[in-house]
């Protein structure tokens, strides 16, 4: 009967300490008074104060050194007509058995515009941390004896089948890999076109679109300048697509091959910029001249080696 009474008393006992002032009330509590080693100890600070009171919380984590700090939970705050209620919860633990007294904490506060700080102190809380009972009379042994599995021929057959399947798959995989490796030498590599061929092909495609003939003058000038910019970028290895027309002309003037088309390129980009940025409406002959200039820029700057190959191809045809 005494044990039952103690259990009920320990379960419902809540260490609650309350300190009152005229404008503020504070209390400190734990969820119970008896814990086992390693249990979470929930420590709560609860404050009730008027709205004109300014509260400074104590450093709970650093103040309670008799316990191991685990975590600070999100604070709860409720406001009424004239009162504010705050609840601050902290989780601690203890890893050896003993009777522990959580020390008193000071909560500082001031009222209204008064700079004078006052404080209230919580009353210390004593808790008991116990270890698990150990029966020293019995020997230490496993929780459960090792399990012996009977030999299952169906299980062994399944393992053998899986091994055979893996070996078969590995064999055919190796044959496929070897066959693919042998056939790799017979694959004809894709021909990489030189920049001038790409540019001439793109100019021919653009010419067949007949954009400016359909009234799409701005689109025509944007595409033709992009073809030449990309050609310059790949032919002379500089970032022509990201440069202004004036910057491109400046780079061409510093290149021996670029000087061949310096004036031609300057006229070409000037006409294109007038259409794109100044809303200039060129005559038909200007659009035709732009196409001729583009072809000429590419043909004049074809490298000598590629030019010889081009002439040989034309003679064969």
| Domain finish residue from 86, 108, 130 | 130
- 54 membership: H or E segment, kind and range: strand 53-56
Q: How many CB atoms lie within 10 A of CB 10?
A: 12
pLDDT in single tens digits along all 317 residues of the chain: 444 445 444 443 433 334 445 688 999 999 999 999 989 999 999 989 888 888 888 998 899 999 999 999 998 988 888 889 999 999 999 988 889 999 999 899 888 888 888 888 999 999 999 987 766 666 666 556 666 666 677 777 888 888 888 988 888 888 888 777 766 655 555 678 899 999 899 999 988 988 878 888 888 888 988 999 999 999 889 898 999 888 988 888 898 888 888 899 888 888 778 777 756 676 777 778 888 988 999 998 888 775 655 555 554 44
The span from the CA of 15 to the CA of 11, in Å, is 11
> Which range of residues forms the domain containing residue 208?
195-307
User: What per-residue confidence (pLDDT) applies to 69?
Assistant: 93
Residues 133-167, buried b or exposed e (16+ Cβ, 10 A)? eeeeeeeeeeeeeeeeeeeeeeeeeeeeeeeeeee
| Domain finish residue from 88, 114, 130 | 130
> What is the three-class DSSP state of 287?
helix
Please state the domain count of the chain. Answer: 2
Same domain, 24 and 109: yes
The answer to the question of residue 176 being in a domain is no
Q: The CATH number of the domain where 20 resides is what?
A: 2.60.40
The answer to the question of residue 316 being in a domain is no
The span from the CA of 91 to the CA of 43, in Å, is 6
Same domain, 41 and 122: yes
The span from the CA of 112 to the CA of 121, in Å, is 21
Question: Do the Cβ atoms of 93 and 38 come closer than 8 Å?
Answer: yes
The answer to the question of residue 175 being in a domain is no
**Distance between terminal CA atoms of the chain?**
116
The answer to the question of residue 206 being in a domain is yes
Task: For residue 78, give every residue at least 6 positions away whose Cβ sits within 8 Å of its Cβ, in sequence order, or none.
Answer: 84, 85
Question: Do the Cβ atoms of 206 and 198 come closer than 8 Å?
Answer: no
Same domain, 14 and 121: yes
Same domain, 298 and 208: yes
Question: Do the Cβ atoms of 29 and 125 come closer than 8 Å?
Answer: yes
Q: State the number of CA atoms in the 13 A half-sphere of 298 facing the CB.
A: 24
User: What per-residue confidence (pLDDT) applies to 134?
Assistant: 64
The answer to the question of residue 47 being in a domain is yes
Specify whether the backbone of 122 is left (phi greater than 0), alpha (psi in -120 to 50) or beta.
Answer: beta
Q: How, if at all, do strands 34-36 and 125-130 pair?
A: parallel
The answer to the question of residue 86 being in a domain is yes
Instruction: Quote the distance between the C-alpha of residue 203 and its chain's center.
Output: 44
User: What per-residue confidence (pLDDT) applies to 149?
Assistant: 64
Instruction: Please name which of 105, 133, 134 lies closest in space to residue 121, comparing C-alpha atoms.
Output: 105
Question: Do the Cβ atoms of 94 and 37 come closer than 8 Å?
Answer: yes
| Domain finish residue from 85, 106, 130 | 130
Same domain, 108 and 205: no
- The model's pLDDT over 150-186, given as tens digits with 9 standing for 90+, comes to 667 777 788 888 888 898 888 888 888 877 776 665 5
Question: Do the Cβ atoms of 110 and 71 come closer than 8 Å?
Answer: no
Q: State the number of CA atoms in the 13 A half-sphere of 81 facing the CB.
A: 0
User: What per-residue confidence (pLDDT) applies to 169?
Assistant: 87
Question: Do the Cβ atoms of 228 and 294 come closer than 8 Å?
Answer: yes
Question: Do the Cβ atoms of 301 and 257 come closer than 8 Å?
Answer: yes
Same domain, 24 and 108: yes
Same domain, 20 and 119: yes
DSSP classification of residue 242: G
The answer to the question of residue 266 being in a domain is yes
The answer to the question of residue 264 being in a domain is yes
Same domain, 202 and 95: no
> pTM (2 decimals)?
0.40
User: What per-residue confidence (pLDDT) applies to 64?
Assistant: 93
Question: Do the Cβ atoms of 135 and 102 come closer than 8 Å?
Answer: no
């Amino acid at each position: 009967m005494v044990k039952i009474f103690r259990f009920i008393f320990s379960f419902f006992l809540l260490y609650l300490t309350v300190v009152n002032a005229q404008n503020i009330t504070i209390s400190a509590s734990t969820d119970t008074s008896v814990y086992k080693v390693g249990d979470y100890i929930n420590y709560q600070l609860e404050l009730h104060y008027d709205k004109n009171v300014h509260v400074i919380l104590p450093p709970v984590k650093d103040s309670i050194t008799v316990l191991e700090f685990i975590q600070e939970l999100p604070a709860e705050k409720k406001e009424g007509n004239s009162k504010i209620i705050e609840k601050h919860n902290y989780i601690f633990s203890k890893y050896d058995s003993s009777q522990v007294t959580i020390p008193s904490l000071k909560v500082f506060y001031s009222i209204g515009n008064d700079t004078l700080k006052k404080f209230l102190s919580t009353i210390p809380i004593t808790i008991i941390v116990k270890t698990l009972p150990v029966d020293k009379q019995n020997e230490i042994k496993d929780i459960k004896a090792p399990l012996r599995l009977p030999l299952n021929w169906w299980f062994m057959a399944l393992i053998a089948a899986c091994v055979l399947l893996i070996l078969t798959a590995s064999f055919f995989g190796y044959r496929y890999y070897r066959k693919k490796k042998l056939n790799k030498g017979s694959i004809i590599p894709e021909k990489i076109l030189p920049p001038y061929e790409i540019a001439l092909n793109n100019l021919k495609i653009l010419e067949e679109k007949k954009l400016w003939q359909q009234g799409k003058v701005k689109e025509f000038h944007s595409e033709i300048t992009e073809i030449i910019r990309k050609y310059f970028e790949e032919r002379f290895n500089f970032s022509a697509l990201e440069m202004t027309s004036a910057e491109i002309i400046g780079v061409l003037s510093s290149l021996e091959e670029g000087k061949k088309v310096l004036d031609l390129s300057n006229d070409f980009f000037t006409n294109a910029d007038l259409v794109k940025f100044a809303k200039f409406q060129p005559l038909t002959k200007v659009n035709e001249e732009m196409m001729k200039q583009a072809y000429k820029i590419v043909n004049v700057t074809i490298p000598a080696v590629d030019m010889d190959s081009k002439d040989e191809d034309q003679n064969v045809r």
